[in-house]
Structure 1
Amino acid sequence: MSTVVVPQTPIASQSDAWRKVVGTCHMVMGLRKDYLDSLRVVQAEIGFEHIRGHGIFHDWMGVLRRYDVAGHAGTRYVWTYLDQIVDAYLEVGIKPFLELGFMPEALASGPETVFWWKGNITPPADYAEWNALVAATLRHLIARYGRDEVLSWPVEVWNEPSLPEFWKDASKAEYFRLYEETAKTVKDVDAGFQVGGPATSPQADDWYVPFAEHTDATDTPVDFFSFHAYATGPAQHVPFGVYQTMHGAGSLLEQFARPRTILGGHRLASVPHHVTEFNTSYRPDNPVHDTAYNAAYLAPTLVGGGDLVDSFSYWTFSDMFEEQGVPAAIFHGGFGLLTHRQIKKPTYHLYAFMARLGTQVLARGDDHLVTRHDDGRITVLAWQPVGGTDDPTEPDTHTLRLSIPLTRPDGTTPATAYVHRRRVNNHDGNAFTAWQQLGRPASPTTRQLDRLYEAAEPTVTHHATDVAPGIGRIDLPLTLAHHEITLIEIDPVTDETPTWIDDTRILGRF
């Protein structure tokens, strides 16, 4: 096993693109206690900046209301639910990433819908009324939350119009009109808004250049370019779930890079690029999401994604998600970092580990990231590299060895270091495995839930190690279990032990 010699001088600054945005199910879920409890957990330990979800104009939000009573007829905009949800977001320190859709039934040009909760996917019957709805919503938000605050919320037009499931007939011409009308309306409200699209599904390569050309021809503003990335093949359905093949682990980063390559020298290659949805599977019922494999698979994406795009939004923070109906079991392959009732999945811990990293990158490889904090602490994220369906099976263990420099901020070298390690793998820190061992209870009892909460926490080990005098380095050999991610925090030790302390005398055996 060769040793990676970590340099003393930083090679880069750690990007925070991985936590700029996180996804959620349709916005009305923000009225539920379990959803808000989950959001508080995520924000306390990870701290995402924005949250993006569907359905701001879905009828369950009640924003657009028609009335015809006692000789009075017209349209009223109702902000009751929207205000409650945005208030809750801001209270826990997260801002909306506004996705404008789906179509309110009263404005829809047809009956076509998607999802269990029936989001209408048709263009507006009257674009003037759609534009009025968009303008009224943005003006209300500015009036309630203040211009400076609301202008920090990106505005995205629709979701995956490249698929007929989400936009009637997947019509480019109709979406380009929707984008043009909407983007110009947004800018009419305030030119300071950042508006973008086309929010396409993965591999929608044939949309990028036509979208760019249309916005050029119509002088339509595009402040950012958005798209989605997933890494699985077609769904193989079983009752209440699916299985899918997996592309290789580099697939997501390749997808992140593709739009800039296709756009070439066009101006949209230079604007911010936001991946407003990504995950391994695009299905909310694929058990891969619940596994340690999912975390190990995504580790290089979180570490390297900021080199390619300005943000990439994990889909989603919680299993409070109902596109395919109410989930049939507490572990059901949901997208979430957390299950219902806030059980942490391995991928949750990947994000929590990322949140503990320092800002100075000292080394980065295909199985590790070494960072330093301003106070001299070293934090290492390591993972077992994993492959896709067609790659060889990962071995039972993965080893690496790091030689790590350790100094205090004043340049002095400590004699010893404290090494604190958190581990998540197929067994440790893995509530999904515990749930399997409990017999897969669909609705766990209170006692079973307690077991799952305990099993979901990373295994912790710690030890002290000598810092090599003169060279100021520690040797860190690591053995990772199957599909493991691990976080190692290394602190310089200042020994304050009084001279009279003798721990060998604690039991009186002297």
Structure 2
Amino acid sequence: MCKRALLTAVLLLLLAGGGVLRAQAVVSVDPSAVLGPVKPMNAANNGPTSGTMEGYKALRVPYARTHDTPLGTEYGGHCIDINQIFPDFRANVNSPRSYDFTNSDVVLLDMQKAGAKPFYRLGQSIEHQTKKYGIYPPRDYRKWAKICEHIIRHYNEGWADGYQMGIEYWEIWNEPDLDQPDDRWKTDPRTWAGTMEQFDELYVVTAKHLKKCFPDLKIGGPAFANPRKYGPDFLDYVKAKGAPLDFFSHHMYHRKPARIVEDVRIIREMLDGKGFAKTESILNEWNYNRGWDEASDFYGRRMRPTILGAAFVAATMCECQNEPLDMLMYYDLRPNTIWCGPWSPFVYEIRPTYWSLYYWAELADYGTQVGSGCDKEDIYTCAALSKEGKVRLLVVNYHRDDTYNTPCDVTLSLPDGWHVTSVRMTDSRGMDLRPAVTDAFTLEANSMALFEIEK
């Protein structure tokens, strides 16, 4: 028998002279319904900078992907990409003198200092500029694979005055399909200046070589921009050639969590159907985006740093936790970009999306997902149970644009004997507020709350 009680937060959403119409919702929690581990939905692209180190540590980012890192001068510029580490392709692949690891070492050491495990993208950053440099198919695929081998040996085996970092994930390339649909790869490529057939061959040559050298590491890729269109042929080729694919990475930018979930399910079905049932599915670029036309693009730029962008991130993590997805990697934690929600450019002030990732880390610390749900669309939930028997509950009220402003009165349905002990809330009024636990729990449109619940 459950008891219902209106619990928590304290948001005065009253218009001058009158009240605001409110929606109603019931959120249920079942600590006895154990669902499995809280997954790394709060992984991200890129590591800390000198201005974000302490805040980054507090986020407890589980994995940090090394993509587009050289585009940020705060990381040293010359780092991570193959043509930055091995600048002269004619050089001796076996000689330490052919490699420049200096800035890349700092990037990865800073990730580890902040508590994040590096997720290394082998390949090139996107090139928006007129002249292209590193995105052409390598002149010698086998040599390129050996360069990748020596990068791994530097970071995992100490080669060339290197380290024993134990980096597990090694991703081959990024978005080779981005400019395929309209043949832009022929005139103004950004990520791969070749055909998909050329890339498929590069992947197979490299993946086979790396797996032979490092059988215990996870080798995968290729971070498709359009996985539903280009994934099937890629998977067929990889399978036909007997190449490893320990994880399949893909990207999705949208404003609807349901649309991301749709992609996640289709991709899992595609992997299973093509004989890759054991291959991990990793969505390692995602963020709020209303569209790619100019007006939609600038709308997205304005919204990502706001509570709307933060609510989208929290809602998407809640949804993907329940889907056949192994990891989410938010794009991007480089602070001086249009994609970074957690920090403002240059001065690195914390913004609302920081708390989306932070609240998820609080769930991950408890470790075990338990049952939760809501009877209303647009309210998203996830609950976690600690070894000590305490529960944390994340509740998100998300709407896909800033035109919806109806708050929601939420009733928590808890088992007998359970009660809320504290609340943390982020909304338009402020970030990580600590309202008193009262009998009035109201969530603004586009807001989120983290509850501590005990018996």
TM-based fold match above 0.5: yes
Q: Does 1:47 align with 2:47?
A: no
Distance of 1:368 and 1:305 partners within structure 2? 11
Deviation at 1:43, TM superposition (A): 2.3
Structure 1 counterpart SS, 2:398:
coil
The match for 2:104 among 72, 82, 89 is: 82
Q: Does 1:405 align with 2:429?
A: no
Determine if contact 2:156/2:165 at 8 Å carries over to the other structure: yes
Q: Does 1:60 align with 2:70?
A: no
Determine if contact 1:379/1:489 at 8 Å carries over to the other structure: yes
The match for 2:372 among 352, 363, 375 is: 363
Residues 268 and 388 (structure 1), Cα distance of their counterparts in 2 relative to 1, 3 Å cut: farther
The one-letter code of the counterpart of 1:353 is Y
Q: Does 1:462 align with 2:425?
A: no
The one-letter code of the counterpart of 1:97 is F
Distance of 1:222 and 1:303 partners within structure 2? 27
* Counterpart in the other structure of 1:12: 35
Give the count of matched residue pairs. 394
Determine if contact 2:420/2:451 at 8 Å carries over to the other structure: no
Distance of 1:51 and 1:67 partners within structure 2? 28
Residues 213 and 49 (structure 1), Cα distance of their counterparts in 2 relative to 1, 3 Å cut: same
Q: Does 1:193 align with 2:217?
A: yes
Distance of 1:186 and 1:15 partners within structure 2? 30
* Counterpart in the other structure of 1:102: 124
Distance of 2:105 and 2:176 partners within structure 1? 27
Deviation at 1:302, TM superposition (A): 0.6
The match for 2:273 among 265, 268, 292 is: 265
Percent identical among aligned pairs is: 22
Distance of 2:348 and 2:357 partners within structure 1? 15
- What TM-score results when the alignment is normalised by the length of structure 1? 0.69
Larger Rg: 1
Determine if contact 2:396/2:446 at 8 Å carries over to the other structure: yes
The one-letter code of the counterpart of 1:92 is A
The match for 2:307 among 283, 289, 292 is: 292
Determine if contact 2:67/2:121 at 8 Å carries over to the other structure: yes
Deviation at 1:200, TM superposition (A): 0.4
Determine if contact 2:283/2:325 at 8 Å carries over to the other structure: yes
Determine if contact 1:55/1:119 at 8 Å carries over to the other structure: no
Deviation at 1:355, TM superposition (A): 1.9
**Match runs of 1:342-353 below 5 Å:** 342-353=348-359
Distance of 1:384 and 1:311 partners within structure 2? 23
Structure 2 counterpart SS, 1:207:
helix
The match for 2:260 among 246, 252, 262 is: 252
Deviation at 1:216, TM superposition (A): 1.5
- Structure 1 residue ranges without an equivalent (≥5): 25-29, 104-111, 232-245, 322-332, 408-412, 430-457, 466-475, 493-510
Distance of 1:218 and 1:394 partners within structure 2? 51
Determine if contact 1:160/1:166 at 8 Å carries over to the other structure: no
Q: Does 1:313 align with 2:319?
A: no
Deviation at 1:257, TM superposition (A): 1.8
Q: Does 1:219 align with 2:242?
A: yes
- What TM-score results when the alignment is normalised by the length of structure 2? 0.76
Structure 2 counterpart SS, 1:60:
coil
Identify the structure with bigger relative contact order (alpha carbons < 8 Å, sequence gap 6+).
Answer: 2
Runs of 4+ aligned structure 1 residues displaced above 6 Å come to: 56-59, 145-148, 282-285
- Structure 2 residue ranges without an equivalent (≥5): 1-23, 72-76, 180-188
**Match runs of 1:405-424 below 5 Å:** 405=415, 419-424=421-426
